[in-house]
Structure 1
Amino acid sequence: MEQLKHIIVDAGQIILGLVMHGLMLPLVAPVLLVFWVISLTVKLLLYLEYGPGTTKCSGLDSVWGVETPKSRPIITIMFTLVGTPSIEKVRKNIKSKLLDVVEESGEYRYPKFRQRLLRKFGYYVWQIDPDFDITNHIKLVNLGNDDPSSYASQPEVEDLPKNKAPWKITLLDSGEGRYSVLIFLHHTIGDGISLLHLCLVALADFQPSSELSLKEQEHPFTSHAVHNP
């Protein structure tokens, strides 16, 4: 009897839900249609004015695109490696393991690293940077006696390249047989954990493998990081 009662209650809730959806549909449908038409119009305008290299951001990208002086959606990653920094090798690794990785379809696997985040027609859009140059995004700074953490905490250090893809990597050379890597990425490129893993793999001289020893898994960049011996 109790089971039958639950079945009747569940059936009643389902019927009530269907009725409510039916009543709301005439009100919601026109609003959704208007938004769909606006979105389609913006996509068409972007294509006509800028060509296929400019696309409207997804909803989540648009949320993270909102930026104010007090709220900047920038992910900051900093870690220290053993060795002497080689900016040429870092650029080569980032290029081969991140920028130039292509899918079977011929498209870049991580296209946002080559695109600019702009605002057009009231919407955030991704646009291929026609003048993309990796040297604008990866630089070497000789700190001397300055503390890497103090350098990284300066507000202007966080600024991303203007009118360029929203990311940068700075190698901080302390001249003590070790150096720090400072990475800034706009949150529209991806979530923090995924980007951290992606950047670490791209910076390393090895590919992650289950065959690595426990010691190497715990401290993979101590012995395998990008550096000059």
Structure 2
Amino acid sequence: MFLNFLSSPKRESMSSIDTAWLRMDRPTNLMVINGVLFFETQIDFERLKRVIEARLLKYKRFKQKVVRIGTNAYWEDDPDFDLANHFHLIALPGKAGKAELEKMMSEMISTPLDFSKPLWQFYVVENYAGGSALVARIHHSIGDGIALIQVLLSMTDKEANPAAPEKALKTPKFVAGDEEDSDDFFMRLYKPVSKMYTGMLKSYYKLVGTSYGLMMNPGKLLDYTQTGLGVSQGLAKLATMPSDPRTKFKGKQSTAKRIAWAESLPLQEVKDIGKVLGCSVNDILLSAVAGALRGYLMERGENVDGLDIRASVPVNLRPENRLGELGNYFGLVFLSLPIGIANPIERVYEVKRRMNAIKGSYEAVVALGLLSVVGMLPDMLEQGAIELFSTKATAVMTNVPGPRERIYMAGAGVKDLNFWVPQSGEITMGVSILSYNNRVNFGVMTDKKLVPDPENIIRRFSGEFEKLVLTVLMQTWEEAPDPQLAEINLGLMALVAGMGHDGRPKRVV
């Protein structure tokens, strides 16, 4: 009977890493990735339904529910699957604008998914801002951000009316570390990781059996200094890392979340300022995030002198032969954000220095191994391990590259898109950065009890970037810039004067 259970074609074991994310669910932190696509026009509900049937449901995970037996979890075909239970048409009240959608989504994000059904929900908001929107909620156990971007792309087209609008497309593959994208977001982090760790990932399973014990007993680290993979150093750093300091962002959680998103930034402007400073796009954006968090804390009377707070940063470790698959293939590293640094240029260079130090470490592989281990542990032990991880950070900060060009879904043009990363354990804030169509989008999720007004954090992001631009232009550079930098500087001066590359009025703070 037991053998028949295991060999059932309609049920398969969940990987230990996906199981770990499944079991991190708790009322105060739901393991659900939430996203929204904004359309310029009304999207055709019935046409979108046909697209979902052809393109989304080709992934079997979206027709499978989760079955838990003891410490194990399984994917099982849902015999009662009905798309109507997952695909809904709704409308916003009142002015049906940004405030109304943020409120509705905050309530959704605080609501658990139904575990008796496949763990996802789509909502078409038929009356948002003169057009429409699609809100998506997908459980983290189904896949990570890179995997779900592939799912998104498979549902879209490059034109409004393609020849075969409902045909199931071949899954597009995002290749981390592409030369053309070497300055994009986390690409500079993805690229060395994929090269350095490709061989290591084949052998790390031999080490994860000892990893959890080492994490719980750091004194044994000396016995493993000859592993050859730097695991000792990575474990030592995690085991001896102190808890993050208490601020307005960290404390006892509630079961209610709040979200906000900001007006997007032109990606070219971010690249231009990065080129002038010799920093990556990611360095610039993370420095702006640190500045925004600094401003929020100062406004609430908190002392920020010398303050650092850590962000848990997902790092892509997906092997090339699994780029088209669902599931979770990422490790975690901890980045200390220099909140205490007021000068924008000093702060961005400090972010760059810290990011470079992370790129040469083994933290991500160690974390992936530990997640694999905790996914096989009894709940009580797993929760202890998650608490150990989560006390060391205040926020989760993730950065996902989206489509470079304008896309269409069911004939409707996608004006913009955003998403919100879930948090685990005691972590109370999520900061999400997503690129789309040469623009940069920011999303923030907070605990309602601790930060009831995330819009007052995210509204500062663009202002912090503009402060950096203004500070750069006020510097006296010892060497004259080359012609390309001179052209960039003209663009930056135009930005400060009130006009960006795209002709959009700018506000300088």
TM-score by length of 1: 0.63
Equivalences for residues 4-153 of structure 1 within 5 A = 44=3, 46-47=5-6, 51-66=8-23, 67-100=25-58, 110-145=59-94, 146=96, 147-153=100-106
Match of 2:149 among 162, 176, 196: 196
The answer as to 2:132 corresponding to 1:179 is yes
Question: Is the CA contact 1:87–1:138 (under 8 Å) kept in the aligned structure 2?
Answer: no
Distance 2:410 2:118 in 1: 31
Q: What displacement does 1:160 show?
A: 2.1
Tell me: CA distance 1:130–1:226, structure 2 relative to 1, closer, same or farther (3 Å): farther
Equivalent position SS for 2:33: strand
Give per-residue Cα distances to partners, 1:8-63, cap 9 Å, x unaligned: xxxxxxxxxxxxxxxxxxxxxxxxxxxxxxxxx9x737338xx4312221111111
Give me the whole-angstrom Cα distance separating, in 1, the residues matched to 2:93 and 2:156. 23
1:200 Cα deviation after fit: 4.2
Q: CA deviation at 1:99?
A: 1.1
Q: Structure 1 residues 175, 184: closer, same or farther in 2, change over 3 A?
A: closer
Establish whether residue 219 from structure 1 lines up as the match of residue 439 from structure 2: no
CA distance in 2, matches of 1:126, 1:170: 24
Which residue does 2:423 correspond to in 1?
Answer: none
Contact preservation (8 Å) 2:11, 2:76 = yes
Instruction: For residues 93-129 of structure 1, give each alpha carbon's deviation from its aligned partner in whole angstroms, at most 9, with x where no partner exists.
Output: 01111213xxxxxxxxx21111001211331111110
Whether contact under 8 Å (2:407, 2:413) holds in the other structure is no
Task: Measure how far apart 1:86 and its partner are.
Answer: 2.4
Amino-acid identity (%): 25
Cα distance in 2 for partners of 1:190, 1:54 equals: 18
> How far does residue 186 in structure 1 lie from its aligned partner after superposition?
0.6
- Aligned to 2:20, the other structure's residue is in SS state helix
Q: CA deviation at 1:183?
A: 0.4
In 1, the alpha carbon distance for the partners of 2:404 and 2:28 equals 37
How far apart in 2 are the matches of 1:92 and 1:195? 19
**Secondary structure, in 3 states, of the residue corresponding to 1:194?**
helix
Q: Tell me if the contact between 2:406 and 2:413 (Cα under 8 Å) persists in the aligned partners.
A: no
**SS of residue paired to 1:188:** coil
Matched-pair contact (CA < 8 Å) for 1:168–1:184 = yes
Cα distance in 2 for residues equivalent to 1:46 and 1:64: 24
Structure 2 gap segments, 5+ residues each = 163-168, 173-402, 415-509
1:166 is matched with which residue?
A: 119
1:144–1:175 contact (8 Å) kept in structure 2: no
Q: Provide the rounded CA distance (Å) in 1 between the counterparts of 2:19 and 2:107.
A: 27
Determine if contact 1:89/1:226 at 8 Å carries over to the other structure.
no
Report the alpha carbon displacement of residue 181 of structure 1 after superposing the two structures with TM: 0.9
Listed one character per residue, the Cα deviations across residues 133-159 of structure 1 (whole Å, up to 9, x for unaligned) are: 111111010113242121101156643
Distance 1:74 1:61, change over 3 A: same
Scaled by the length of structure 2, what TM-score is found? Answer: 0.30
Farther off after superposition, 72-81 or 198-207: 198-207
Paired residue type of 2:88: K
Higher relative contact order (CA 8 A, sep 6+): 1
Unaligned runs of 5+ residues in structure 1 are 1-40, 101-109, 209-215
- Higher helix residue share: 1
Query: 1:217–1:122: structure 2 CA closer, same or farther, 3 Å change rule?
Result: closer
Structure 2 CA distance, aligned partners of 1:201 and 1:219? Answer: 14
Native 8 Å contact 1:78 1:181 kept in 2: yes
Q: Is the 8 A contact 1:90 1:226 kept in 2?
A: no
Are the structure 2 counterparts of residues 223 and 125 from structure 1 closer, same or farther at C-alpha, using a change threshold of 3 Å? closer
Q: How many aligned residue pairs are there?
A: 168
Displacement of 1:197 in angstroms is: 3.5
Kept in 2: contact 1:172–1:179 (CA 8 A) = yes
Aligned equivalent of 1:154: 107
> Aligned equivalents of 1:82 and 1:222: distance in 2?
11
User: Which residue identity does 1:58 align to in structure 2?
Assistant: S
Give distance in 2, aligned partners of 1:223 and 1:54: 32
- Structure whose alpha-carbon radius of gyration is higher: 1
